[in-house]
Structure 1
Amino acid sequence: MLNRIDEEITFRKLEILLAFMESGNLARAAERLGISAVSVHRALHSLETGTRCSLFRLEGRNLQPNDAAHALADVAREVLQAMSHGIRVTREIAGYAADRIRIGSLYSLTSVTVPAIIMGLRLRKPDIQTELVLGSNSELLRKLREGIVDAAVMGLPEGAGDIESQLLFEDDIFFAAPAQSTYAQQADVDLSACTDERFVSLNEGYVTHDRFIDAFRVAGFDPNVVMRTNDIFSLMNLVSGGIGCTLLPGRIRSVLPRNVCLVPLQPRFQMRQKISVMFLRTRERDPNLLSLLAACRSHAADLQG
């Protein structure tokens, strides 16, 4: 059990102690704090009462700190810094915004969606600083729950009761193949006829990987995956280089390599992704997140219009 701290020792008195130690005398400390020199002297004497030891000595008319005062000042500086940080974190959790926001995103959303959302956010909060954190769906969900990111733009997870979400758009999944392949000439692709094809894929944890697995489950076979990667741009380049075919969301169409084409899947193999902005339900009153949510709704409306 911690020893009880005397009620004479307060954060305000520790601030006065630091002001006195840094300024060197009562008058300058009082001027810095906007109080009287008498109030400074009274607070310092009160700290001696609270610590039950001498902190200062008189040299003429000047008050001089002793070693004990320096030790208390060192601790006071750490305590006040820790408390300041704690109050900031508490205010953020309680819904009072900081001056920055950390947004998590899938790699595939960084070409159009995320820049549009950030621009919309800055129109509403011009002074906010934005930090972008990239990762897989599973990584972003973990970082959201651990407080590493404030919000995440990603595929909507199932059964996440602690998460608030705003749907941005739904995205169809396509068969991606080199433009010179026979698939490029087809109106749609029968996935069940691709048992001899080589494929490349994202690693587990990405929403596109999940739809890849779902589509081949419908097709009734395990694809021959010759290579896996951790980002969708590398995946597109593997298709471009002829390493294998894959399944890709339609949103990356504008950044596809020129020799890669997207071909619709036959209706029974078609898959969709729901892309949403998400944040913890406990943060639903945070002004930064409310502004982000407004920007996302505006972007979603633009897409539908």
Structure 2
Amino acid sequence: MHLHIDEDITFRRLEILLVFMETGNLARTAEKLETSAVSIHRALHALESGLRCSLFRHEGRNLHPTEAAHALAEVAREVLRSMADGVRSTREVAGYSSDHIRIGSLYSLTNRTIPALVMGIKLRKPDIQAELILGSNADLLQKLRDGAIDAALMGTPDNAVDVESEPIFEDDIYFAAPVGSHYAAMERIDLASCAGERFVTLTEGFVTYSGFVDAFRVAGFSPNVVMKTGDIFSLMNLVSGGMGYTLLPGRVRSVMPQKVQLIPLQTKYLMRQTISLNFLRTRERDPNLLMLLSVCRMTKAELR
């Protein structure tokens, strides 16, 4: 059954009615709601128009509520209470200001960045539960847009006008080789001289893969990629095992296998990643995300 409520009957006007019933005075109602007495009078009159009955008796400039006004006020309290509960539960389902926050991250950030971030969260909101979801840049961006995560620590996405990004740190890309390789003594690597080598890399969608492609575009040849993998730790193990060379961000230096060496690239191949906290602009007022943003800004030095 279709239920029709006249457009003159709004939540705001019901709220005004309840405050007026409490104060009994236009001026005090206006002061409490931070508006004018004229606006209060218009709102009450609009309610009468929508209901098509009188809610008040006029005695000079004073308004006295009728039995109809008391009846409407009783219903209005229940309606506004139910709607407030509905808004709160809807926000919780959407992850807005709940006691649970879902953070997406690149695998390479789980060593230092994520632990430092979670520690900062716990210091500010001890009761909040953080859930970690790992993936590539492309995966995390899609999960962000689908509402599967609340925020993502990843490479700053290009042309994502629906996403708010807070830069955390920048990271240079290095040539990764097994310790003792014939590149070990070089101060900087000229990728153009590596055309005959085998390479391993991350799968498409990772920000490091994008840097890999860009660097070899500058070098002027397509590398011989013998294997791709879906996480950076497996990639480092492939290099350690002599499967091939690759390009890696400097942030993995502290968790690399002992048999892997990072060597700087020549200046013309320099690639720099910007790692940022990302969330949808439509949720920029979410208290949990504002807290997360504050943590990132306060602990940037620890997050690399």
TM-score (normalizing by structure 2): 0.71
- Note if contact 2:202-2:231 (Cα within 8 Å) is conserved in structure 1: yes
Distance 2:282 2:86 in 1: 19
- Aligned twin of 2:177: 177
Tell me how far 1:91 sits from its aligned partner. Answer: 5.8
- Aligned twin of 1:167: 167
- Aligned twin of 2:248: 248
Equivalent residue letter for 2:164: E
Q: Percent of aligned positions with the same letter in both sequences? A: 61
Tell me how far 1:184 sits from its aligned partner. Answer: 1.3
- Aligned twin of 2:126: 126
Q: Deviations over 1:7-57 (max 9, x none)?
A: 9xxxxxxxxxxxxxxxxxxxxxxxxxxxxxxxxxxxxxxxxxxxxxxxxxx
- Aligned twin of 1:102: 102
Secondary structure, aligned partner of 1:184:
coil
Q: Deviations over 1:269-304 (max 9, x none)?
A: 010000000001111111111111111111214569
- Aligned twin of 1:4: 2
Distance 2:283 2:188 in 1: 44
Secondary structure, aligned partner of 2:120:
helix
Taking the TM superposition and a 5 Å limit, the aligned residue runs for 1:25-40 are none
Distance 1:135 1:213 in 2: 19
Tell me how far 1:6 sits from its aligned partner. Answer: 10
- Aligned twin of 1:237: 237
Tell me how far 1:84 sits from its aligned partner. Answer: 7.0
- Aligned twin of 1:263: 263
Tell me how far 1:261 sits from its aligned partner. Answer: 0.3
Structure 1 residues 260, 96: closer, same or farther in 2, change over 3 A? Answer: closer
Please say if 1:228 is aligned against 2:228. Answer: yes
TM-score (normalizing by structure 1): 0.71
Distance 2:275 2:218 in 1: 22
Taking the TM superposition and a 5 Å limit, the aligned residue runs for 1:180-195 are 180-195=180-195
Secondary structure, aligned partner of 1:201:
strand
Secondary structure, aligned partner of 1:185:
coil
Number of equivalent positions: 226
Distance 1:85 1:240 in 2: 55
- Aligned twin of 1:90: 91
Distance 2:90 2:200 in 1: 43
Unaligned runs of 5+ in 1: 8-82
Tell me how far 1:90 sits from its aligned partner. Answer: 3.5
Structure 1 residues 126, 90: closer, same or farther in 2, change over 3 A? Answer: closer
Tell me how far 1:87 sits from its aligned partner. Answer: 4.6
Distance 1:131 1:265 in 2: 36
Q: Deviations over 1:251-284 (max 9, x none)?
A: 0000000010000000000100000000011111
- Note if contact 1:168-1:299 (Cα within 8 Å) is conserved in structure 2: no
- Aligned twin of 1:154: 154
Structure 1 residues 211, 85: closer, same or farther in 2, change over 3 A? Answer: farther
Q: Deviations over 1:171-194 (max 9, x none)?
A: 000000000101111101000000
What's the C-alpha RMSD, in Å, of the aligned pairs? 2.1
- Note if contact 2:144-2:279 (Cα within 8 Å) is conserved in structure 1: yes
Secondary structure, aligned partner of 1:182:
coil
Equivalent residue letter for 1:108: S
- Note if contact 1:117-1:295 (Cα within 8 Å) is conserved in structure 2: yes
- Aligned twin of 2:30: none
Distance 1:96 1:195 in 2: 51
Structure 1 residues 111, 124: closer, same or farther in 2, change over 3 A? Answer: same
Equivalent residue letter for 1:170: E
